[in-house]
Structure 1
């Protein structure tokens, strides 16, 4: 979910400095002294360490560059804080372009190991298109997509005959919301647009898809008044921050897969109260400078973690796959003709990964 300013893909020298600061103050026992960083192999048994090392390099592709989203920022922070090292994991992070469907294809092919998708619906649609990946976690249990219009729009049917801007495809939750409101989607002129939301108040499009944690924040900061049409207000289910992995890797490397999420969720908790520090790591990876909007990304992170917290079912830990919610998503995808049949989700999801790293709702850290 890109910010209004794209990030440079080169890793500047500031990354080295940031990593050095992050890894300073480590203790041999794996507990933090002046910083929360962990020493290499300090939180794991020798046998588990050997098993994780044998898994080889885990290549993680972000959903979009180094944006401070849930399922991206916490993984960047886990790398910089030494949490992956503490679990003997060799993690390589590559910035994605925003093409999450393409990322899923890379993971299915084994070119990459793990990526974050837009949500469970994207996982379902990937499977229906023959892209074989395994869903191992989901962060947010509410749609993060939104449809923005001018304040003069009071009925979605008014969008028929107008132009809608989207990022390559109409998000399934938005499509379902339009259909549920009696809109003939074929009568809307859809165009692919970039990541500048000001095209909406300028009148270049009459509606624009986006993310609650991104474009509305930009428009609000610019003083533009727009109306948000949210799928959940029309009983359209949704999720965000779905983590997908290569099925063969998961099958052969259960402990490494578990510990990847363990380190990510450990960093997530830290970043909840240290947002600026964690965003600083992302900024360093992006090369620093004016091209990375730090303040905006802090807002992105705080908005998304707020959505994760407010949507988390009681008594369940972060990352849990919600089979009941997924069943509802399947139903709306079938009803809106985005899926032809209801798939067997047990064939491409593995809830045991998350359950193995928690004691109830408490993350087990360090690893057993």
Structure 2
């Protein structure tokens, strides 16, 4: 089996201090379009110019909604000359603070750590994934870890960057870390397949698919369904951009909603856009890309999004996210992390988007 790329280096960057400090220093001297405030609806008529979006990862199926929004002209319809999708990996926080990106696609852990630890002036304005994709992956004929209680007495492979999050997962399920053995691993699930560990911290949209497609039956224990829910693939901006460019951000969100509606409706085309166009230089595996597309879509649509619209984050989910972050040592109020006023205005002004 080919090694799996270390995609969670940027996903769960709980130790963001050095990065954020550098970015804060850069933000004091760097200029960008974020320094030019929007003056309201007249700007929409004149056009918003270019917008830069920092993606959290490479241009694979994870960003199919962005590809549809670009491909189908929703960004152009919204008044943008272009929307530049910059490939990661990145938490997106340094780019926001230095002014090299206007919007980042990040996650609540990275954003929360930057806000709590460094006072980074950023807010989450919506989220693609209602459920985070973390899981404890195991082999059905091996550890077969189907419940939190099944972790007891097992060897669990945990990457350094995910250790705080895994400990929060244990705490959320009243399991003492001494009741199991935590084994340091990298991001290739080979130790799981080879029987060196009973379980492996993984992504439902990545390693879980890789191992399953190798012909090995697996069991997943998703964090989101077992005591540690938090939002991921969040749209994040600086407070200054949120304050001064509201019409522009609303136009961006409208285009994104339309793009992700298309992605949910046509996962095959979403996979094709990743393989043949936006990620054409990545040599993406077609079978895994489509499986990743379907797994991603399953984390986006919930009864709440069906009722309230894509990207919305209910009060309850905000509270759950903040509680999950607290378990990882990140202490915040929901208002420190979220500002969903733009999204509320988008749906009020465009009820057909629900």
Change (3 A) 1:344 1:333: closer
- Deviation (angstroms), 1:286: 2.0
For residues 69-103 of structure 1, what are the alpha-carbon distances to aligned partners after superposition, in whole Å with 9 as ceiling and x for unaligned?
2xx21112211222111222131111112x42xx2
Of 89, 101, 119, the residue aligned with 1:112 is 101
1:324 counterpart residue number: 316
* Segment of structure 1 superposing worse, 279-288 or 245-254: 279-288
Matched length: 310
Which structure 1 segments of 5+ residues have no match? 8-44
Structure 1 residue runs of 4+, over 6 Å off? none
Determine if the alignment matches structure 1 residue 240 to structure 2 residue 232. yes
1:37 counterpart residue number: none
2:340 counterpart residue number: 351
What SS does structure 2 have at the residue aligned with 1:296?
helix
1:255 counterpart residue number: 247
- Deviation (angstroms), 1:122: 3.5
Of 133, 138, 146, the residue aligned with 2:127 is 138
Of 68, 83, 86, the residue aligned with 1:94 is 86
Please, what TM-score do these two structures have when normalized by structure 2? Answer: 0.76
> 1: distance between equivalents of 2:5 and 2:85?
20
Determine if the alignment matches structure 1 residue 80 to structure 2 residue 71. yes
1:47 counterpart residue number: 42
Between structures 1 and 2, the one with greater helix share? 2
- Deviation (angstroms), 1:275: 2.2
> 1: distance between equivalents of 2:169 and 2:46?
46
RMSD (Å), alpha carbons: 3.1
Of 272, 279, 283, the residue aligned with 1:286 is 279
Change (3 A) 1:181 1:282: same
Aligned pairs (5 A) from 1:9-20: none
2:222 counterpart residue number: 230
2:12 counterpart residue number: none
> 2: distance between equivalents of 1:108 and 1:216?
34
Change (3 A) 1:276 1:65: same
Change (3 A) 1:5 1:297: farther
> 2: distance between equivalents of 1:60 and 1:186?
43
Change (3 A) 1:5 1:233: closer
Which structure 2 segments of 5+ residues have no match? 8-39
1:191 counterpart residue number: 184
2:37 counterpart residue number: none
1:15 counterpart residue number: none
